[in-house]
Amino acid sequence: MQKIEHIGIAVKNLQESNSLFEKLLGRSHYKTEKVASEHVETSFFRTGQSKIELLQATHPDSAIAKYIEKYGEGVHHVAFAVTDIYAEMERLRKEGFRILNETPKKGADNKLVCFVHPKSANGVLVELCQEISD
Amino acid sequence: MQKIEHIGIAVKNLQESNSLFEKLLGRSHYKTEKVASEHVETSFFRTGQSKIELLQATHPDSAIAKYIEKYGEGVHHVAFAVTDIYAEMERLRKEGFRILNETPKKGADNKLVCFVHPKSANGVLVELCQEISD
């Protein structure tokens, strides 16, 4: 794990939250992206070498919609940058972590991603993400 | 806000969680610290230019004990580094954020800290922290 790549925050209304985080962080989001496969629309803010990713559900079946229904808005996941996601998944499986994906999948922001079940990580939904090289 | 200074994670058993996060992050914690005023014992891991802070309550009145009772273990707060905490508090108050401290207080890791109420920050308990110069 190289660094905190981003913190994912579940929000109800992306436009309102963009405005709120602009005020909080003192800077604008630099991009938005829809991830159709995950039924989410996202926006990104830079902070140091990490990012804040806001996530709004675009469908009631989205994990974000279900999260908000259960817990309300808030921190949804913490993502760490890795250089070799396959090796990290193998390493974590051997250490006893429950990986939610059989193989990495394409996530937002041009990344290969996988998730570690929060029950095996102190209640934290951990994402691993690796930049996809062009 | 310069960067994510740390992510604070509420845990029930610091020793067990130190072992878990060692496996997750692939590195050991580099220090532990008791903050008597907050009734917590903490440990810190480095990850890039940020830290992971694990927090265990040392008293049932601790905010961490109450958090775990209500939500279970998980991400408790997100802390951002600032260079002038007084100016940032003033700026955020003017932007309509609810600051939980009248004035900054001494937190863990040689920092002056204050908190923004999660109800005014999309469900995220936001900490501002400024390094105390010697």
- By the 8 A CB rule, do A85 and A112 touch? yes
pLDDT digits 0-9 by tens, B73-110: 999 999 999 999 999 999 999 999 999 999 999 988 89
| Whether pLDDT at B56 is above 90 | yes
Nearest Cα of chain B lies from the Cα of A90 at a distance, in angstroms, of: 12
Please state, in angstroms and as integers, the Cα–Cα distance from residue A18 to each residue in A28, A75, B26, B84, following that order. Answer: 8, 15, 34, 24
Mean pLDDT of all residues belonging to chain B = 95
| Whether pLDDT at B17 is above 80 | yes
What pLDDT is recorded for position B1?
A: 84
> How far, in Å, CA of B30 to CA of B28, rounded?
6
Give the closest of A17, A20, A80 to B47, CB-based: A80
B79 backbone φψ class: left, alpha, beta (φ>0; ψ -120 to 50): beta
- By the 8 A CB rule, do B14 and B32 touch? yes
What pLDDT is recorded for position A59?
A: 95
What pLDDT is recorded for position B94?
A: 97
pLDDT digits 0-9 by tens, A94-129: 999 999 999 999 988 899 999 999 999 999 999 999
Interface check B118 vs A, CB under 8 A: yes
Q: How many Cβ pairs closer than 8 A exist between chain A and B?
A: 114
Residue tagged 């006893």 (tokens): A96
Percentage, residues of chain A above pLDDT 90:
93
pLDDT digits 0-9 by tens, B57-77: 999 999 999 999 999 999 999
- For the full predicted model, state whether its pTM sits above 0.80: yes
Interface check B44 vs A, CB under 8 A: no
What pLDDT is recorded for position B108?
A: 87
What pLDDT is recorded for position A133?
A: 84
What pLDDT is recorded for position B112?
A: 95
A100-131 residues labelled b (16+ CB within 10 A) or e (exposed): eeeebeebbbebbbbbbebebbbbbbbbbbbe
pLDDT band, very low/low/confident/very high, at A1 (cuts 50, 70, 90): confident
Interface check B46 vs A, CB under 8 A: no
